[in-house]
């Protein structure tokens, strides 16, 4: 009896400590939302990837009836924003809208990652799928991905390619491993920094994100040859996959998601999930996402969390295959 009483006292003390530390009660979850939202963005204000974050923040405002503030916390490849959300009160009012794929990748790209995404974040829902694209200058003689591959094999070590982020780097290395191409990787801080080298022919091809690929193709600077996904994307249905063009094993895609601290109460997660899935299902959102080269893709919290864990495991292999030294 003494052991039972002592255990009950400990449980009571733990509950009191949780309440004192700002833990969310069942009553608070039932009243959700009772305050404004903070959406954390890992990209600079006005940047290409900042636009979809603000779009979904505005749509959340309409659904919830609460003011939604976007705060840009830039740096460390998204780690600063992700860590800020992990350390926030787990009440559903502070969330990260970011590439879940990049968030998972960072766990293996840093020697001392500040968070373990699969354990410390909860995916509310996924929002879209985005391929990476193989691109060439509009003045390039290569009209198809097969032509590019054949030409790069002949060019040997004189071949070169551009990339401006980690997924592009991994995609480029997997392409080289699959084909035997010896192209030199030329990293750029931003996509814009690579434009002159594409125009002059200093680089033969690029492994680029969908936003910059679509924008520069529309502007008449680039030509897209293939996508990195397993299947063709509805946003660019005429663009073949790398597998279709004879290069299997390169199956990478980015995906945006809404994420909250792992301890966020399930009723709150479910309410957010319902709102965001309704947002993704609208024709307006589908049209918006298509402009950025992505397909709408919403999930349950369980499905989203499983994708985050899978990506976190897959990126360990990708980092090794691409011979990336953690920072």
pLDDT at residue 242, rounded to an integer? 95
Is the pLDDT at 28 greater than 80, yes or no? no
Can you tell me the distance from the alpha carbon of 297 to that of 218, in angstroms, rounded to the nearest whole number?
24
Is the pLDDT at 12 greater than 60, yes or no? no
Is the pLDDT at 280 greater than 60, yes or no? yes
pLDDT at residue 29, rounded to an integer? 65
Is the pLDDT at 48 greater than 90, yes or no? no
pTM: 0.81
Strands, sheet with 184-187, edge to edge from the N-terminal-most edge strand: 184-187, 160-163, 205-208, 133-137, 222-227
pLDDT tens column, 219-265: 999 999 999 988 899 889 999 999 999 998 788 888 999 999 999 99
pLDDT at residue 60, rounded to an integer? 98
Q: Please state the rounded mean pLDDT for residues 268-274.
A: 97
């Amino acid at each position: 009896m003494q052991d039972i009483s002592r255990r009950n006292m400990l449980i009571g003390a733990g509950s009191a400590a949780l309440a004192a530390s700002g833990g969310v009660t069942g009553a608070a979850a039932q009243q959700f939302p009772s305050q404004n939202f903070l959406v954390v963005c890992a990209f600079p204000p006005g940047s290409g990837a900042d636009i979809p974050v603000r779009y979904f923040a505005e749509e959340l405002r309409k659904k919830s009836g609460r003011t939604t503030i976007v705060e840009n916390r830039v740096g460390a490849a998204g780690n600063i924003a992700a860590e800020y959300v992990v350390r926030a009160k787990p009440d559903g009012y502070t969330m990260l809208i970011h590439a879940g794929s990049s968030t998972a990748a960072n766990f293996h790209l840093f020697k001392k990652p500040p968070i373990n995404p699969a354990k410390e974040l909860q995916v509310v829902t996924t929002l879209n799928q985005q391929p990476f694209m193989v691109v060439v200058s509009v003045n390039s003689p290569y009209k198809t991905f097969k032509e590019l591959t054949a030409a790069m094999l002949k060019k040997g070590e004189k071949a070169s390619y551009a990339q401006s982020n980690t997924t592009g780097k991994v995609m480029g290395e997997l392409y080289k491993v699959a084909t035997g191409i010896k192209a030199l990787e030329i990293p750029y801080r931003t996509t814009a920094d690579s434009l002159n080298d594409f125009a002059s022919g200093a680089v033969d091809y690029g492994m680029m994100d969908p936003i910059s690929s679509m924008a520069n193709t529309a502007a008449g600077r680039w030509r897209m040859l293939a996508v990195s996904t397993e299947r063709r994307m509805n946003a660019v249905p005429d663009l073949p996959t790398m597998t279709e063009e004879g290069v299997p094993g390169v199956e990478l895609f980015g995906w945006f998601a809404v994420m909250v601290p792992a301890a966020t109460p399930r009723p709150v997660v479910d309410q957010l999930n319902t709102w965001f899935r309704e947002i993704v299902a609208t024709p307006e959102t589908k049209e918006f996402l298509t402009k950025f080269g992505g397909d709408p893709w919403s999930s349950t919290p369980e499905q989203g969390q499983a994708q985050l864990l899978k990506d976190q495991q897959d990126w360990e292999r990708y980092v090794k295959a691409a011979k990336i030294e953690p920072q």
